[in-house]
Chains A and B, each alone.
Chain A
Amino acid sequence: MTTSRREFLKTSAALTGGLMMGMVLPESAISAGTLHTPNAWVHIADDNSITLLCARSEMGQGVYTSLPMLIAEELHVDLHSVKVQNAPPAAVYVNALLGAQITGGSTSVRDGWEKLRVAGAQVREMLISAAADEWKVDRGLLKADKGVVTGPNGKHATYGHLAAAASKLPVPEKVALKDPKDFKIVGKRTKRLDTAHKVNGSAQYGIDVKLPGMLYASLEQCPVIGGKVVSFDASAAKTMPGVVDVVQINDGVAVVAKSYWQAFTARKSLTVQWDEGPGAAIDHNTVLKSTRDAFDTIAALPIGKPVGDVAQAMQGAARTISAEYISPMQAHAPLEPMNFTADYRDGKITLIGSTQFQQGAQGAVAAALQLKPEDVSVQTTFLGGGFGRRLELDFIVQAAQISKAVNKPVKLVWSREDDMTHDFYRPLGVNQLQAGLDAQGNPVALHFKVASQSVTQRAFGLPKATFDPFMGEAAVAGYEIANTKHDLHIVDTGIRVGYWRAVSHNMNAFANESFIDELAAAAGKDPYAYRLSLLANKPRFANVLKLAAEKAGWGTPLPAGRARGIALMEGYDSYMAQVAEVSVDEKGVQVHRVTVAADVGHMINPDTVEAQIQSSVVFGMGAGLMQEITMENGRVKQTNYSNFPVVRMFHSPDVSIVLVPSTEKPGGIGEPATALVVPAIANAVFAATGKRVRKLPLTAKAIAQA
């Protein structure tokens, strides 16, 4: 799966153009004047300060700590001596798992695991060589530790002293890496390096950027996504306090003023005539219908290889069971609304803000403004949440177009309502599953079908009728069943869709893990034991399942009204099982406790692994229990956290976590628990009420109607 994603996106990035760039240093690094560049990742200054150019955005997942840990381990320095700076767009920083400089897909550690340790080791060896040259001694007699190279007769020199000479040496191609058993930093619980900035208001997010002479913009967009301006009247807005200009761009009409509030206030007095376009006909019921129709109208693409003969096995089965599951559209709703700062002058532009996709920002703005990519610089701040929304470039291009139109630095800030109604939504998914059971209730055949919309078609131009690997995640479950077939039907419903934390794991794991629970119930067997019986040759799956069940006290008595549900999945090379403990009343589901067992391979920072699991459980719970995006006349009906509710502290369950020590290659951990908590809860609701809810979200109403 990973290979096909990589190969696909490589091709795709080349086709869309503008993504391959030479190495450039951020301006701040150049102006420091004393930095030396042993390689593209590590800079050491004369004053001994060490900077990691971090090619991934910090959006909460801890990369500004985990990636420096990898460098520091091989550079033999204290982690706290490493500063982090976000890298500019450059080919050297491409994420090998995604084929572009993207932070997403739970890939940062998986991509950096070897690359950054090699980078640290290369610099270490170059510093040693520089010392050997200076002292005219055999480099085999030298060692580098704690920022100092030492040699015979008490000779020593700091990394800072050696950096200038080291940076002129060739980068060694082959370097020895530590045996993981000798790790001093990697694998240890480590405090995040960015926390201190995030408890006193000093961390800078995109929305906090301020440039000299900067103006503020608020953009009126068509209520129907994709609609265009026919005409507008800005006469009233232009007379309002602070308003500097009103300009039309591709996506709407922007009021530019001396303060955000003035721009936002004046925007309300605009009158805009829209051509709403074909999107005006979209309704969530038509989206559901066309997605469901796709099973009959659109040819199936195989997910993985079919095993055995499903049709024949179904015929021979003692009985067959079918079910349909529906996962609705979702908004990302990160707490920092979309915003970006652009400074266009003399045919060049500087872009500063919160983005998960530096190369994309550069390429898209270059194309929109007809600039050369090298004339578009991108600086990344902290991100106030991403979850996939900041892979999109719409708001960055808008800021650039507005800055160019007024020829001044501009910060574009969206309102929460802009954000909620102009997202790139998680597509609706419909899964239809059929199983054949033998006389004992064991599955002998499984036919899995999913219909949904391809984000990759929209975002990267994946040709139609081509398999989208981001739709088949977690479709093939771990269970050993003799005859299986998995089909993907890709439909275009007209919705502007986007990658949403855990992407297709969400719909596919909800379907698979609900369905296996239904099969266990049909067989009259315990859902944990039933799963385990299908994992005889799947040790990593079986292990996490057992650990979660043990830790959660599976099978032990619970207070009246409470019940447990279990679920199991592999995602991002991580294996995970969850047990949710819930109660249900007229107000809906209360989740008391979630137990997670995870085998994520080699861990860099176990504390971050736990934090990401806690985070994902809460994020997934919101989608599973309370959120959905609906549309009428092409307009998204949800506008703010009032009608798109999110999990708050009083909803938040106890999360207990078991981590499996492992020397397997690292798996991703930013996302999988998001998907898996939903079927764990749905299965617990079934255990508590006997009601099987197959259409999310699992509200009180949905349970009452099930």
Chain B
Amino acid sequence: MSTTFHVNGKAVHADAAQDTPLLWVIRDELGLTGTKFGCGAALCGACTVHVDGKPARSCQTPVGTVAGKKVATVESLSKDNSHPLQVAWIKHDVPQCGYCQSGQLMSAAALLAGNKNPSDSDIDNAMSGNICRCGTYPRVKAAIKDAASMMRQA
């Protein structure tokens, strides 16, 4: 039985079994590899996507549960790096190895969608589920503040 849902604004049909984590459907079946596998247990945040606008760990989200819903991945921010978060990430040269950054960006995007002027502790709370083994946290935080400022002025 296939599952029908929306990814980045397009309707998709996934053939994978209903209990298959959304992560693997997005990566292996739909070919959107920006969303990453890190822990398989919702501990690291590398697989963060939005489901109906809310951040979700796609490694713990069975694809059957997103039927009819809207899923957004890092590829939805923009292809030309024009989203304020991408602009800020580039300005601060945030990524090192870069592997966690899709998840960091999607958690940050969810935060800024509801709070255009986050405090340090708002940011710490929203980003606490996203591990970066390269330790880019200070730059992630600075870039989120910068992006928020851009979005306030937009």
Contacts and interface: CB of A to CB of B under 8 A. Distances in A.
A199 B131 contact: no
B97 A646 contact: no
A204 B98 CA distance: 10
A584 to B, nearest CB: 20
Interface of B: 16-17, 20-21, 24, 27-29, 31-41, 43-44, 46, 73-75, 77-79, 81, 85-86, 89-90, 93-102, 105, 123-125, 127-128, 130-141
B139 A261 contact: no
B133 A385 contact: yes
B43 A640 contact: yes
A416 B47 CA distance: 13
Interface of A: 58-62, 191-192, 194-205, 207-208, 210, 216, 241, 259-261, 333-337, 382-387, 413, 415-417, 607, 611, 614-619, 640-642, 646-650, 652, 654-655
A195 B17 contact: no
30 contacts: A192-B93, A192-B95, A199-B81, A199-B86, A200-B79, A200-B81, A201-B33, A202-B34, A203-B98, A208-B27, A260-B24, A334-B99, A336-B97, A336-B99, A384-B97, A384-B99, A385-B99, A385-B133, A386-B97, A413-B37, A417-B40, A611-B96, A614-B136, A614-B139, A615-B135, A640-B40, A640-B43, A649-B124, A649-B128, A652-B138
| Chain A contact residues: helix, strand, loop or mixed | loop
Contacts of A60: 95-98, 134
B130 A649 contact: yes
A194 B40 CA distance: 27
Nearest to A419: B39
A241 B29 CA distance: 15
Nearest to A201: B34
Contacts of B77: 199-200
Nearest to B92: A195
Given A611-B136, A615-B136, A647-B135, 13 more contacts: A59-B97, A192-B95, A199-B105, A201-B75, A207-B36, A259-B20, A261-B16, A384-B36, A385-B97, A416-B41, A615-B134, A648-B128, A648-B131
Contact of B28 (A201, A205, A216, A385): A216
Q: Which of A241, A614, A618, A649 has the most CB atoms of chain B within a 10 A radius of its CB?
A: A649
B126 to A, nearest CB: 9
A417 B75 CA distance: 28
A191 B93 contact: yes
A618 B96 CA distance: 13
B140 A649 contact: yes
A650 B130 CA distance: 11
Contacts of A642: 41, 43
A415 B40 contact: yes
A142 B85 CA distance: 46
B78 to A, nearest CB: 7
B138 A614 contact: yes
Nearest to A420: B39
Contact of B17 (A199, A241, A384, A641): A241
B133 A619 contact: yes
B43 A261 contact: no
A201 B124 contact: no
Given A259-B16, A648-B128, A611 B93 contact: yes
Nearest to A648: B128
A618 B97 CA distance: 14
Nearest to B121: A650
B90 A640 contact: no
B138 A655 contact: yes
B129 to A, nearest CB: 8
A592 to B, nearest CB: 13
A650 B131 CA distance: 11
A607 B94 CA distance: 11
Contacts of A387: 133
Q: Sorted from nearest, which 5 A-B pairs have the closest CB atoms?
A: A201-B34, A618-B135, A384-B99, A60-B96, A198-B98
